[in-house]
Structure 1
């Protein structure tokens, strides 16, 4: 739900007659997630809702779409984003400061390609932590390309292309953390591989937050990351696949294999799967398991990763196969799946039970 022209998605969401958005809402209504991360949702770059998210909830999620049951999300969070935020240093070396190439994150306007969180449970924004302003060069042993950025650019460029957010959720008397991010895709590069390197380090930032690394300094002045006893769930389009694509996969492997991540969900028998992905044929030959794909490129890019102390009951990817009556949500009348029908990504879900509190 993004558009290069600022305000256009605001206009589209203000009326309940957009066919593509209706199909997106129907997917959400079908799965009925308690907590949902939506990537590439335009809203003000400094954070907050300009009415777009409220209208999406009002006109689409709260009304039946394609025969599905409405869903209500009373708690919503629109974080500040680095997308389309003009950097005060020339990043591409052309002598001019222009978007999108000189944005802290790629975007044609501030807030383009942002993400939002929707929840049935209270989101405790007062205790939120974020790493939006953390500079790329502040990460020890970072992979910034050598001899590409000027000294001024290296001193100004942030690591997170959107934001890295640690958001507490209150469920009764218990609390857990959402760790949300949407790293830059590792493509559209030159030989310096600046986007692939940034994707790697954005993924590493997630792992280092989980690992409570001492070098971390958040936007609120706090040091370190997650405490060792805090349950959490990682949510995000991570733009990385272990088996295919253009990414530098070591950072993803370290994240998926982290001892605090639920291994059955990250790489084991409970990885989210679908029938639709299993029978999908992308344009390029892939090595990964098709049942785990979440993208029309034949890639597993989208992840829900609970911490190891959660109990996991089930998981899946909403990707209807050719015999499913809900196939119309992802395919045109000709049966072909295209991004403009609804999205080039598929909704990933995991059913979890909160850790039992001892004592």
Structure 2
């Protein structure tokens, strides 16, 4: 739900006649997540809703779509984003300051490709923490490419391409922290591999927040990350696959196999799976388990990773097979799986057993 022209998503959601948005809403209404992260949803770069998110809830989620029942999310959060935030110094070395290439995060306008949270449970707005402003060069052992950025550019370039946020949700007198981000894809760069390196360190930042790394200071001035007894769920399009793709594998492996991540849901029997993924024929041969893919390129890129103190009941990926009556929600009028029909990603869900917490 992003457009190169600022304000277009607000305009497109102002009416209820967008067929693609209707399919996305029907998927949400069918799966019925209590807490939902939507990546690539344009909103003001400084944070907050310009009306597009409210429009989507009002005109699509609050109305039946494709015979699916309505769903209500009374709590919303749209964090500030580095996408489309113009750097004061030239980042790509062409001598000009232009978007998207000189954005602190890639984007045609500030807030392009942002992400938003919808929740049925209250959000502790005043307890939200973010690491949007953390400079890439301030991460110990960072992987910034040598000699690519000028000293001036390196002095302003933030690590997070969008934002890394920790959002406390009140769930039946308990608090579950959502650790959300959307790292840059590890492609569209050159020999210096600046995007692959940035994806690597954005994933490392997730692990550092879980580990309460000593160097961490959030945008609010608070040191450290999660506490040892905190309950949390890592959520995001991480643009990384542990077995395939262009990304550097180690930081994702470290995250999925982290001692504080529920191993069964990250890399075990309860890893989210689908039937429809079996029928995908990606453009190139891919490794990994087809039923765990979440993207049309044949990769597992999208994750919901509960902490080890959150018991998991079940999980899945909304990817209907060819015989499923809901198959049309992910295909075009000719029955083809295309990004333009809905999304090139698939919705991933995990059910937490609240009674066992």
Which TM-score tier does this pair reach, normalised by the shorter chain?
A: over 0.9
Give the distance between the partners of 1:131 and 1:332, measured in 2 at CA: 39
Give the distance between the partners of 1:94 and 1:10, measured in 2 at CA: 33
Once the two structures are TM-superposed, the CA of residue 280 in structure 1 deviates from its matched residue by: 1.1
What is the match of residue 228 of structure 1?
228
What is the match of residue 202 of structure 2?
202
What is the match of residue 124 of structure 1?
124
Once the two structures are TM-superposed, the CA of residue 355 in structure 1 deviates from its matched residue by: 7.9
What is the root-mean-square deviation in Å for CA atoms of aligned residues? 0.9
What is the match of residue 33 of structure 1?
33
What is the match of residue 99 of structure 2?
99
Q: Which segment drifts farther, 341-350 or 86-95? A: 86-95
Once the two structures are TM-superposed, the CA of residue 172 in structure 1 deviates from its matched residue by: 2.6
Q: How does 1:129-148 map to 2 (within 5 A)?
A: 129-148=129-148
What is the match of residue 113 of structure 2?
113
Once the two structures are TM-superposed, the CA of residue 170 in structure 1 deviates from its matched residue by: 0.5
Contact 1:183 1:238 in 2 (8 A): yes
Give the distance between the partners of 1:310 and 1:304, measured in 2 at CA: 12
What is the match of residue 332 of structure 2?
332
Once the two structures are TM-superposed, the CA of residue 164 in structure 1 deviates from its matched residue by: 0.1
- Structure 1: 5+ residue stretches without partners: none
Give the distance between the partners of 1:50 and 1:193, measured in 2 at CA: 35
Residue by residue over 1:181-221, the C-alpha shift from the partner in whole angstroms, topping out at 9 and shown as x without a partner, is 00000000100000000000000000000011111010000
Once the two structures are TM-superposed, the CA of residue 333 in structure 1 deviates from its matched residue by: 2.9
What is the match of residue 213 of structure 1?
213
Once the two structures are TM-superposed, the CA of residue 356 in structure 1 deviates from its matched residue by: 5.6
Q: The residue matched to 1:205 in structure 2 has which SS?
A: helix
Residue by residue over 1:62-116, the C-alpha shift from the partner in whole angstroms, topping out at 9 and shown as x without a partner, is 1000000111000000000000000111100111111000000000000000000
The question of 1:57 aligning with 2:44 is answered: no
What is the match of residue 261 of structure 1?
261
Give the distance between the partners of 1:97 and 1:191, measured in 2 at CA: 22
What is the match of residue 244 of structure 1?
244
* TM-score with structure 2 setting the length: 0.99
Give the distance between the partners of 1:338 and 1:191, measured in 2 at CA: 30
What is the match of residue 2 of structure 1?
2
Contact 1:309 1:355 in 2 (8 A): no
Give the distance between the partners of 2:354 and 2:142, measured in 1 at CA: 35
* TM-score with structure 1 setting the length: 0.98
The question of 1:290 aligning with 2:290 is answered: yes
Once the two structures are TM-superposed, the CA of residue 352 in structure 1 deviates from its matched residue by: 0.5
Give the distance between the partners of 1:15 and 1:108, measured in 2 at CA: 24
Once the two structures are TM-superposed, the CA of residue 281 in structure 1 deviates from its matched residue by: 1.1
Q: Which segment drifts farther, 102-111 or 88-97? A: 88-97
Contact 1:4 1:112 in 2 (8 A): yes
After superposing on structure 2, the runs of 4+ consecutive aligned residues of structure 1 that deviate more than 3 Å are: 354-357
